[in-house]
Protein backbone atom coordinates (compact mmCIF):
# COMPACT_ATOMS: atom_id res chain seq x y z
CA UNK A 1 0.00 0.00 0.00
CA UNK A 2 1.24 3.49 -0.91
CA UNK A 3 1.46 5.67 2.19
CA UNK A 4 3.04 8.69 0.53
CA UNK A 5 1.54 12.07 1.34
CA UNK A 6 0.90 14.24 -1.70
CA UNK A 7 0.77 18.01 -1.29
CA UNK A 8 -1.10 19.61 -4.19
CA UNK A 9 -0.24 23.31 -4.54
CA UNK A 10 -2.74 25.24 -6.59
CA UNK A 11 -2.75 28.68 -8.15
CA UNK A 12 -6.07 30.52 -7.81
CA UNK A 13 -6.89 32.87 -10.69
CA UNK A 14 -7.20 31.29 -14.14
CA UNK A 15 -6.58 27.91 -12.56
CA UNK A 16 -9.18 27.01 -9.93
CA UNK A 17 -11.36 29.96 -10.86
CA UNK A 18 -11.87 32.17 -13.89
CA UNK A 19 -12.15 35.89 -13.21
CA UNK A 20 -9.66 38.06 -15.08
CA UNK A 21 -10.29 36.25 -18.36
CA UNK A 22 -14.03 36.72 -17.92
CA UNK A 23 -13.64 40.44 -17.23
CA UNK A 24 -11.28 41.16 -20.14
CA UNK A 25 -13.10 38.81 -22.51
CA UNK A 26 -10.18 36.52 -23.34
CA UNK A 27 -11.99 33.41 -22.10
CA UNK A 28 -15.06 33.93 -24.29
CA UNK A 29 -12.98 34.98 -27.31
CA UNK A 30 -11.23 31.58 -27.29
CA UNK A 31 -14.51 30.10 -28.52
CA UNK A 32 -14.56 32.13 -31.75
CA UNK A 33 -18.00 33.65 -31.39
CA UNK A 34 -19.70 30.74 -29.63
CA UNK A 35 -19.77 32.59 -26.30
CA UNK A 36 -21.08 36.07 -25.52
CA UNK A 37 -18.02 38.17 -24.63
CA UNK A 38 -20.11 40.96 -23.11
CA UNK A 39 -22.04 38.55 -20.90
CA UNK A 40 -18.79 37.03 -19.70
CA UNK A 41 -17.51 40.48 -18.78
CA UNK A 42 -20.71 41.24 -16.87
CA UNK A 43 -20.41 37.98 -14.94
CA UNK A 44 -16.79 38.72 -14.07
CA UNK A 45 -17.60 42.26 -12.93
CA UNK A 46 -20.40 40.96 -10.72
CA UNK A 47 -17.96 38.55 -9.06
CA UNK A 48 -15.44 41.34 -8.62
CA UNK A 49 -18.02 43.49 -6.83
CA UNK A 50 -19.10 40.56 -4.67
CA UNK A 51 -15.50 39.83 -3.65
CA UNK A 52 -14.66 43.42 -2.75
CA UNK A 53 -17.95 44.00 -0.92
CA UNK A 54 -17.60 40.94 1.30
CA UNK A 55 -13.87 41.56 1.85
CA UNK A 56 -14.56 45.11 3.05
CA UNK A 57 -17.79 44.54 4.97
CA UNK A 58 -16.98 41.27 6.75
CA UNK A 59 -13.22 40.68 6.57
CA UNK A 60 -11.62 44.06 7.43
CA UNK A 61 -10.08 44.42 3.97
CA UNK A 62 -10.61 48.17 3.63
CA UNK A 63 -8.89 48.60 6.98
CA UNK A 64 -5.95 46.23 6.52
CA UNK A 65 -5.50 46.22 2.73
CA UNK A 66 -2.05 47.79 2.93
CA UNK A 67 -0.82 45.30 5.55
CA UNK A 68 -1.02 42.07 3.63
CA UNK A 69 0.44 38.97 5.28
CA UNK A 70 1.50 35.77 3.49
CA UNK A 71 -0.87 33.65 5.61
CA UNK A 72 -3.40 34.24 8.39
CA UNK A 73 -1.26 32.83 11.21
CA UNK A 74 1.77 34.96 10.31
CA UNK A 75 1.16 37.21 13.33
CA UNK A 76 -0.26 34.56 15.63
CA UNK A 77 2.59 35.00 18.12
CA UNK A 78 1.31 38.54 18.75
CA UNK A 79 -2.18 37.27 19.64
CA UNK A 80 -2.57 37.00 23.42
CA UNK A 81 -5.72 34.89 23.13
CA UNK A 82 -8.08 37.56 24.41
CA UNK A 83 -11.80 36.79 24.23
CA UNK A 84 -13.07 38.78 21.25
CA UNK A 85 -16.79 38.17 21.76
CA UNK A 86 -17.32 41.69 23.11
CA UNK A 87 -14.29 43.33 21.48
CA UNK A 88 -15.12 46.56 19.63
CA UNK A 89 -12.93 46.57 16.52
CA UNK A 90 -14.27 49.94 15.41
CA UNK A 91 -13.06 51.57 18.63
CA UNK A 92 -9.67 49.91 19.21
CA UNK A 93 -7.75 52.67 17.39
CA UNK A 94 -5.92 50.29 15.08
CA UNK A 95 -3.22 52.24 13.29
CA UNK A 96 -0.78 51.39 10.48
CA UNK A 97 2.19 51.49 12.83
CA UNK A 98 4.82 48.71 12.91
CA UNK A 99 4.68 48.23 16.68
CA UNK A 100 3.64 45.28 18.81
CA UNK A 101 0.37 46.90 19.92
CA UNK A 102 -0.91 47.31 16.38
CA UNK A 103 0.45 43.93 15.29
CA UNK A 104 -1.63 42.41 18.09
CA UNK A 105 -4.72 44.28 16.87
CA UNK A 106 -4.05 42.99 13.36
CA UNK A 107 -3.64 39.47 14.75
CA UNK A 108 -7.07 39.83 16.42
CA UNK A 109 -8.57 40.68 13.04
CA UNK A 110 -6.89 37.70 11.45
CA UNK A 111 -8.27 35.44 14.18
CA UNK A 112 -11.80 36.66 13.51
CA UNK A 113 -11.29 36.20 9.76
CA UNK A 114 -10.24 32.59 10.42
CA UNK A 115 -13.33 31.99 12.56
CA UNK A 116 -15.63 33.42 9.88
CA UNK A 117 -13.91 31.36 7.19
CA UNK A 118 -14.51 28.17 9.15
CA UNK A 119 -18.20 29.02 9.61
CA UNK A 120 -18.72 29.71 5.90
CA UNK A 121 -20.47 32.44 3.95
CA UNK A 122 -24.01 31.46 4.86
CA UNK A 123 -23.34 32.65 8.40
CA UNK A 124 -22.41 36.08 6.99
CA UNK A 125 -24.72 36.72 4.05
CA UNK A 126 -28.40 37.43 4.44
CA UNK A 127 -31.03 35.39 2.63
CA UNK A 128 -31.22 37.60 -0.47
CA UNK A 129 -27.44 37.81 -0.91
CA UNK A 130 -27.13 34.06 -0.47
CA UNK A 131 -29.66 33.47 -3.25
CA UNK A 132 -27.85 35.98 -5.50
CA UNK A 133 -24.51 34.27 -4.81
CA UNK A 134 -25.86 30.78 -5.53
CA UNK A 135 -27.51 31.95 -8.76
CA UNK A 136 -24.31 33.70 -9.88
CA UNK A 137 -22.28 30.55 -9.22
CA UNK A 138 -24.70 28.44 -11.27
CA UNK A 139 -24.75 30.96 -14.13
CA UNK A 140 -20.95 31.18 -14.14
CA UNK A 141 -20.56 27.41 -14.13
CA UNK A 142 -22.95 27.15 -17.07
CA UNK A 143 -21.16 29.90 -19.00
CA UNK A 144 -17.74 28.28 -18.42
CA UNK A 145 -18.88 24.71 -19.24
CA UNK A 146 -18.60 23.73 -15.57
CA UNK A 147 -15.05 24.99 -15.06
CA UNK A 148 -15.61 25.79 -11.38
CA UNK A 149 -17.54 22.70 -10.34
CA UNK A 150 -15.02 20.54 -12.24
CA UNK A 151 -12.13 22.24 -10.44
CA UNK A 152 -13.87 21.51 -7.16
CA UNK A 153 -14.34 17.87 -8.19
CA UNK A 154 -10.62 17.66 -8.96
CA UNK A 155 -9.75 18.99 -5.51
CA UNK A 156 -12.01 16.34 -4.00
CA UNK A 157 -10.28 13.65 -6.06
CA UNK A 158 -6.88 14.90 -4.92
CA UNK A 159 -7.85 14.80 -1.27
CA UNK A 160 -9.47 11.41 -1.83
CA UNK A 161 -10.45 9.31 1.14
CA UNK A 162 -6.99 9.67 2.66
CA UNK A 163 -6.44 12.43 5.19
CA UNK A 164 -2.77 12.29 4.21
CA UNK A 165 -3.20 14.17 0.94
CA UNK A 166 -3.78 17.92 1.13
CA UNK A 167 -4.71 20.82 -1.14
CA UNK A 168 -2.92 24.15 -0.66
CA UNK A 169 -3.43 27.47 -2.38
CA UNK A 170 -0.58 29.84 -3.26
CA UNK A 171 -1.96 32.92 -4.96
CA UNK A 172 -0.29 36.06 -6.21
CA UNK A 173 -3.30 38.03 -4.98
CA UNK A 174 -3.60 39.58 -1.54
CA UNK A 175 -4.67 37.32 1.30
CA UNK A 176 -8.12 38.56 2.35
CA UNK A 177 -9.73 38.66 -1.13
CA UNK A 178 -8.18 35.25 -1.85
CA UNK A 179 -9.87 33.78 1.23
CA UNK A 180 -13.14 35.38 0.15
CA UNK A 181 -12.73 33.86 -3.33
CA UNK A 182 -12.35 30.43 -1.73
CA UNK A 183 -15.62 31.00 0.11
CA UNK A 184 -17.51 32.38 -2.88
CA UNK A 185 -16.33 29.65 -5.26
CA UNK A 186 -17.18 26.95 -2.70
CA UNK A 187 -13.63 25.74 -2.08
CA UNK A 188 -13.47 26.45 1.67
CA UNK A 189 -14.32 22.89 2.73
CA UNK A 190 -11.45 21.60 0.55
CA UNK A 191 -8.83 24.26 1.33
CA UNK A 192 -8.64 25.31 4.98
CA UNK A 193 -7.59 28.85 5.86
CA UNK A 194 -4.26 27.53 7.19
CA UNK A 195 -3.51 26.28 3.68
CA UNK A 196 -4.00 29.60 1.87
CA UNK A 197 -0.82 31.55 1.09
CA UNK A 198 -0.40 34.96 -0.53
CA UNK A 199 2.81 35.49 -2.50
CA UNK A 200 1.96 39.18 -3.08
CA UNK A 201 5.14 40.49 -1.43
CA UNK A 202 7.30 37.44 -0.81
CA UNK A 203 7.02 35.59 -4.13
CA UNK A 204 5.96 32.04 -4.88
CA UNK A 205 9.37 30.47 -4.33
CA UNK A 206 9.37 31.71 -0.74
CA UNK A 207 5.88 30.32 -0.18
CA UNK A 208 6.88 26.99 -1.72
CA UNK A 209 9.95 26.89 0.52
CA UNK A 210 7.80 27.44 3.61
CA UNK A 211 5.51 24.64 2.46
CA UNK A 212 8.46 22.31 1.92
CA UNK A 213 9.68 23.05 5.45
CA UNK A 214 6.18 22.58 6.87
CA UNK A 215 5.65 19.21 5.18
CA UNK A 216 9.04 17.61 5.67
CA UNK A 217 9.75 13.90 5.39
CA UNK A 218 10.87 11.19 2.98
CA UNK A 219 7.35 10.15 2.00
CA UNK A 220 6.17 13.59 0.89
CA UNK A 221 5.55 14.45 -2.75
CA UNK A 222 4.62 17.88 -4.11
CA UNK A 223 2.73 18.84 -7.25
CA UNK A 224 2.18 22.42 -8.46
CA UNK A 225 -0.73 23.35 -10.72
CA UNK A 226 -1.08 26.81 -12.26
CA UNK A 227 -1.05 28.95 -15.36
CA UNK A 228 1.84 31.36 -14.71
CA UNK A 229 5.59 31.52 -15.20
CA UNK A 230 6.34 32.31 -11.54
CA UNK A 231 4.91 29.10 -10.11
CA UNK A 232 6.53 27.19 -12.99
CA UNK A 233 10.00 28.55 -12.19
CA UNK A 234 9.51 28.07 -8.45
CA UNK A 235 8.44 24.44 -8.93
CA UNK A 236 11.36 23.74 -11.26
CA UNK A 237 13.85 25.22 -8.80
CA UNK A 238 12.61 22.75 -6.17
CA UNK A 239 12.43 19.89 -8.71
CA UNK A 240 8.69 19.52 -8.23
CA UNK A 241 6.31 18.56 -11.03
CA UNK A 242 4.45 21.48 -12.58
CA UNK A 243 1.19 21.14 -14.49
CA UNK A 244 0.51 24.08 -16.80
CA UNK A 245 -3.17 25.00 -17.03
CA UNK A 246 -4.22 25.90 -20.58
CA UNK A 247 -7.71 27.44 -20.98
CA UNK A 248 -7.88 26.82 -24.74
CA UNK A 249 -10.90 24.70 -25.76
CA UNK A 250 -9.87 21.10 -26.29
CA UNK A 251 -6.85 21.27 -24.01
CA UNK A 252 -6.60 18.38 -21.52
CA UNK A 253 -5.06 20.76 -18.99
CA UNK A 254 -8.17 22.77 -18.25
CA UNK A 255 -11.49 22.26 -16.51
CA UNK A 256 -13.35 20.11 -17.24
CA UNK A 257 -10.62 17.66 -18.19
CA UNK A 258 -7.79 17.96 -15.71
CA UNK A 259 -8.06 15.24 -13.08
CA UNK A 260 -6.10 13.37 -10.45
CA UNK A 261 -4.93 10.75 -12.98
CA UNK A 262 -3.23 13.44 -15.07
CA UNK A 263 -1.58 14.90 -11.99
CA UNK A 264 -0.48 11.41 -10.98
CA UNK A 265 1.30 11.02 -14.32
CA UNK A 266 3.35 14.16 -13.69
CA UNK A 267 4.14 13.01 -10.16
CA UNK A 268 5.30 9.63 -11.42
CA UNK A 269 7.54 11.10 -14.10
CA UNK A 270 9.36 13.45 -11.72
CA UNK A 271 9.57 11.29 -8.62
CA UNK A 272 10.38 8.04 -10.41
CA UNK A 273 13.25 9.85 -12.16
CA UNK A 274 14.41 11.34 -8.85
CA UNK A 275 14.33 7.90 -7.22
CA UNK A 276 16.29 6.41 -10.13
CA UNK A 277 18.97 9.11 -9.83
CA UNK A 278 19.16 8.61 -6.05
CA UNK A 279 19.51 4.83 -6.43
CA UNK A 280 22.22 5.24 -9.07
CA UNK A 281 24.15 7.64 -6.84
CA UNK A 282 23.89 5.27 -3.88
CA UNK A 283 25.05 2.34 -6.03
CA UNK A 284 27.99 4.36 -7.36
CA UNK A 285 29.06 5.41 -3.86
CA UNK A 286 28.76 1.82 -2.64
CA UNK A 287 31.00 0.60 -5.48
CA UNK A 288 33.62 3.24 -4.68
CA UNK A 289 33.75 2.04 -1.09
CA UNK A 290 34.61 -1.53 -2.05
193 contact partners, CB below 8 Å, separation of at least 6: 72, 113, 114, 117, 118, 179
Q: Which of 11, 66, 83, 272 is catalytic?
A: 11
Cβ–Cβ under 8 Å, residues 96 and 66? yes
Check the annotation: does 79 bind a ligand: no
Q: Which of 2, 13, 66, 79 is catalytic?
A: 13
Check the annotation: does 36 bind a ligand: no
| Active-site annotation holds for 13 | yes
Check the annotation: does 13 bind a ligand: yes
Exposed, middle or buried by CB within 10 Å (0-12, 13-18, 19+), for 275? exposed
CA pair distance 230, 211, nearest whole angstrom: 16
If DSSP states are collapsed to H, E and C, what string results for the chain? CCCCEEEEEECCECCCECCHHHHCCHHHHCCCCCCCHHHHHHHHHHHHHHHHHHHHHHCCHHHHCCCCCCCHHHHHHHCCCCCCCCCCHHHCCCCCCCCHHHHHHHHHHHHHHHHHHHHCHHHCCCHHHHHHHHHHHHHHHHHCCCHHHHHHHHHHHHHCCCCCCEEEEEECCCHHHHHHHHHHCCCCCCCCHHHEEECCCCCHHHHHHHHHHHCCCCCEEEEEEECCHHHHHHHHHCCCCEEECCCCCCCCCCCCCCCHHHHHHHHHHHHHHHHHHHHHHHHHHHHHCC
| Active-site annotation holds for 92 | no
* Residue ranges of the binding site: 11, 13, 227
Q: Which residues are catalytic?
A: 11, 13
* Residue ranges of the binding site for Mg(2+): 11, 13, 227
Amino acid sequence: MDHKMIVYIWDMDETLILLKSLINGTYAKCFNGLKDVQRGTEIGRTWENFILDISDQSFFYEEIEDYNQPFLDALKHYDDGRDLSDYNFSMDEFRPLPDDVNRRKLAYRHRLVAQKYKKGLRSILGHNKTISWENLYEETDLFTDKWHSSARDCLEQCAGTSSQHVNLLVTSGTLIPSLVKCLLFQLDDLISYENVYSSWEVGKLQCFTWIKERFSGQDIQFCVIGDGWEECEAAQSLKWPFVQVDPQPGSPHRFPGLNVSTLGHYLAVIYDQTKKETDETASHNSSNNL
